[in-house]
Structure 1
Amino acid sequence: MLDRALLRYFLAVVDHGSFTRAAAACRVTQPTLSAGIARLEALLGEPVLTRTSRRVELTAAGSRLVGAARRIEAEFARAEGGGVASAPARLIRIGIVSTLPAALVGAAVARAVAAAPDERLEVVEGRDRELAAALDRGRIDAMIGPDNGGTRLFEEGYGVAMAAAHPLAGEPAVAAERIAGEPMIVRRHCEALSEVSRHFTSRGVRPFMAARTTNDDRALALVAAGLAVTVMPDCFAQPGVALVPLEGFARRRVIGLATVADSARRVADSAAVAALAAGLREQAP
C-alpha cells in the first residue's frame, strides 16, 4: 500500500527539481526523502526518477504517476479540510511565457477563473525554454508560449515601440537606418533578441542602449516616457505607445498551447484551460 508521505516526497522532488530542496520543503532530512523515494520505486516495481549529477528527471513511469499523485494529494487535502469548504479538487498548473503582456494574460486568466470555479489554476511564469523543460518533467500540465508546436492561439509580428508622440509614430513602417540615432531599450528576455541585434548591426546601426531590462512593463513605461525605443511583439500595443512595423524584419511568432502526452489527458476536459486559450485568441492582435 502506498504511503501518502511517499507521494508527497515524490511530488516535492518533481516541483523543486532536486532532492535537497525537496527535503527542505518536506521538512525531512535528505536521506529520509531518498529512502522514501526508493521505497516508492520498490512498491511500484520500477524507477520513477532518473538522477544525474546535474538534475533529476522523470522516467516514463514517473510521468504517468505525477497526475495520479496530484489527484490523490488533492483528495487528502479535501478530506482534511472537511470536504465541502475545502480547496477545489482539481489543480491545473499552467506555464505562461513572460513575454506576453500582463493585461492580456490577466484578462484571459480572469475568464478562466470565471469559467471553472471547481478548478484551481496555478500560473507559472518563465522563459520558453524553462517552461518547456518544466512541461517535460511534469512540473506543469500545459504551457503557453511562442513556437512550441502546440495548439495555435494566435500569430503576430514585431514592431518598433515608441512614444505615441514620436515623429515616426504615424509611419506605416520604419527602417533601422531611420532610428539609428535613437536610444534603445534592450529586452534581455526577448525570444528574437539575437535576430533583432543582427538586423540592426547588419545595417551599420549600433544605437546607444538607454536601458536593459527583463520587465516588459518597465520597458513600456520607459518607451511611453520618451526615453528610448525598443522592438516588441505586436501584442504589446497600448495607449501611449505606438508599435510601428520594422522594415525588413520578417520574423513572426506563433503563440501556442502545448502539452505532452500525459498532461494532455489531464487537461483535455479542463474548462479553465479552454477558457484561457479562448481568451488569448480573442484578445490578441
Structure 2
Amino acid sequence: MIKRAHIRHFLAVADSGSFKQAAARLHVTQPTVSTSIAELEKLVGSPLFVRDRRHVRLTEAGGAFLPIARDLEAGFRRADQFGRPVQEQWPGLRLGVIPTISGPMLECVARELSRDFGIELVEGDDRDLRSQLASGKIQLALTLLDDSDGDENVHPLLEEPYVLVMPAAHRFAGMKEVSPQDLAGDIMIARRSCEVLQRTSRFFTDAGVRPRFALRSENEDRCMRMVAAGLGVTVAPRSLAPAGTATAGIVGYGLKRRLGVVRDTALPEEAKERLTTTLEIVAASLSLPRP
C-alpha cells in the first residue's frame, strides 16, 4: 500500500533532483529516502527515476505519476486540516518569488494581493519554490510557467521575449533588431540569476562573440542600473528594462518566457475565488507593448 511517506519522498526527490538534497529537506537519512523510493517503484510497478552520478531525473512513468503524487499530498494536507477551526491570522498567504521578477511587476502583484490577504514574501528559484509549494510551506509561487503546468491551479500573467537591453544613448537604440556579431565589441553585464544564462552564453559563443564583462552579479537591480549608467549591455526579459535604457530583439535568438502564479491545490474555495479575481486585475495591468 502506498503511504504518505512514499509520496513525500518522491516529491522531494522530483523537486530537488537529488536523493541527498531530498533527505536534507525532509530531515531524514539518504538511505531512508532511497528505500522509500524503491518501495514505491515496486508498488507502482515501474522505475520512477533515472539515476546517474550527476543527476536524478524522472522517467516517463515518473513524469506521469508526478501530478498524481501532488494531488495525493494536497489531499493528505486537506485531511490533516479537516475539522480544525479556521483562524484568520497573518500571513494569510506566503508568496514565493523568483529573483528575475522586476520590482514594478512584484509591486503590482503585491499591492493587489494585499488588498485581500496578509502577504509574506519568500524568495527562491523555480525548483525550490515548487518544492515549497508541494509541501505546503508557501501557498503561491510567482514563477516561470511551462507546458507541464495545467490550467486549474495556474494564473498566467505575462509572456515576454528576452531582448538586448542597452543604455538609452547606445548606438543601436531605436533599432528593432541587432545581430549578435554587431555586439562583438560591446562590453556586457552578466545577469547570473538569468534562467537562460547557459543558453544565452552558448548562443553568443556559437556566433563567435566573446564579450568582456563589466559586471557579473546575481543582483538584478544592480545589473540593470549599471546598464542604464552606460557600463554595458545585457540580455534580459523585456519587463526588467528600467528607465534610461532601450531594448531590441537579437537576430536568431528568439527566447521567451511565460510568467504566472501557481497556487496550492489545498487553498480554501473562498480564497481561490478572491485570488482568481485579483490576479485577473494584475494580468490586465501587466500587458506590455510588443518590441
Checking the alignment, whether the CA contact within 8 Å between 1:67 and 1:266 is kept in structure 2 is no
Corresponding letter in the other structure for 1:151: H
1:53 corresponding residue in structure 2 = 30
Q: What corresponds to 1:216 in structure 2?
A: 220
Moved more, 240-249 or 144-153: 144-153
Following TM superposition, where does structure 1 have runs of at least 4 consecutive aligned residues deviating by more than 4 angstroms? 17-21, 54-63, 66-74, 263-267
Question: SS of the counterpart of 1:244?
Answer: strand
> Does residue 282 in structure 1 map to residue 259 in structure 2?
no
- Equivalent position amino acid for 1:108 in 2: V
Q: What is aligned with 1:94?
A: 95
- Deviation at residue 205 of structure 1 after TM alignment: 0.3
Q: String of CA shifts for 1:26-79, please: whole Å, max 9, x gaps.
A: xxxxxxxxxxxxxxxxxxxxxxx784439999994686337965996973xx7x
Relative to structure 1, the CA distance from residue 126 to residue 278 in structure 2 (aligned partners, 3 Å threshold; closer, same or farther) is: farther
Q: Which of the pair has more CA radius of gyration? A: 1
Distance in 2, Cα, partners of 1:236 & 1:93? 24
* Percent identical residues: 29
Partner of 1:13: none
Does the Cα contact within 8 Å between 1:138 and 1:263 map onto a contact in 2? no
In structure 2, do the counterparts of structure 1 residues 70 and 227 end up closer, same or farther at CA, with 3 Å as the change threshold?
farther
CA contact (8 A) 1:200 1:206 kept: yes
Contact 2:161–2:257 at 8 Å: present in 1 too?
yes
Q: Say which SS state the counterpart of residue 270 (structure 1) adopts.
A: helix
Deviation, 1:278, is 2.8
Q: RMSD value over aligned CA atoms?
A: 3.5
Residues in 1 aligned to 2:32 and 2:277: alpha-carbon distance in whole angstroms: 33
CA distance in 2, matches of 1:51, 1:92: 28
Contact map agreement 1:159 1:245 (CA 8 A) in 2: yes
Aligned partners of 2:128 and 2:242: how far apart in 1? Answer: 28
8 Å contact kept, 2:165–2:233: yes
Amino acid at match of 1:279: V
Opposite residue 283 of structure 1, the aligned amino acid is L
Matches within 5 A, 1:32-51: 51=28
Report the 3-state secondary structure (helix = DSSP H, G, I; strand = E; otherwise coil) of the residue aligned with 1:261.
coil
Q: Residue 112 of structure 1 contacts residue 274 of structure 1 at CA under 8 Å; is this kept in 2?
A: no
Q: Once the 2 structures are TM-superposed, how far is the Cα of residue 178 of structure 1 from its aligned partner? A: 0.5
Partner of residue 135, structure 2: 137
Other-structure match for 1:83:
none
Map of 1:122 onto structure 2: 120
Alignment correspondent of 2:41: none
Alpha carbons 1:158, 1:232 under 8 Å: kept: yes
| Deviations 1:197-218 (CA, angstroms, capped at 9, x unpaired) | 1110011001012111111110
Are the aligned partners of 1:63 and 1:138 in contact in 2 as well (CA < 8 Å)? no
Change (3 A) 1:20 1:182: closer
Q: In structure 2, do the counterparts of structure 1 residues 207 and 18 end up closer, same or farther at CA, with 3 Å as the change threshold? A: closer
In structure 1, C-alpha distance between the alignment counterparts of 2:270 and 2:28, rounded to whole Å: 26
Q: Shift in Å at residue 259 of structure 1?
A: 2.8
Give the conservation status (yes or no) of the 8 Å contact 2:189–2:233.
yes
Could you state the TM-score of these two structures normalised by the residue count of structure 2?
Answer: 0.67
Q: Distance in 2 between matches of 1:264 and 1:247?
A: 47
Distance in 2 of aligned mates of 1:256 and 1:140? 15
Question: Is 1:177 aligned to residue 154 of structure 2?
Answer: no
Cα distance in structure 1, aligned partners of 2:285 and 2:188: 31
Post-superposition offset of 1:266: 7.7
1:64 corresponds to: 76
Q: Structure 2 stretches of 5 or more lacking a match?
A: 1-20, 37-68
Which secondary structure state, in structure 1, belongs to the residue aligned with residue 143 of structure 2? Answer: strand
Deviations 1:153-209 (A, max 9, x none): 211101111100111111111111101111111111111111111110011001012
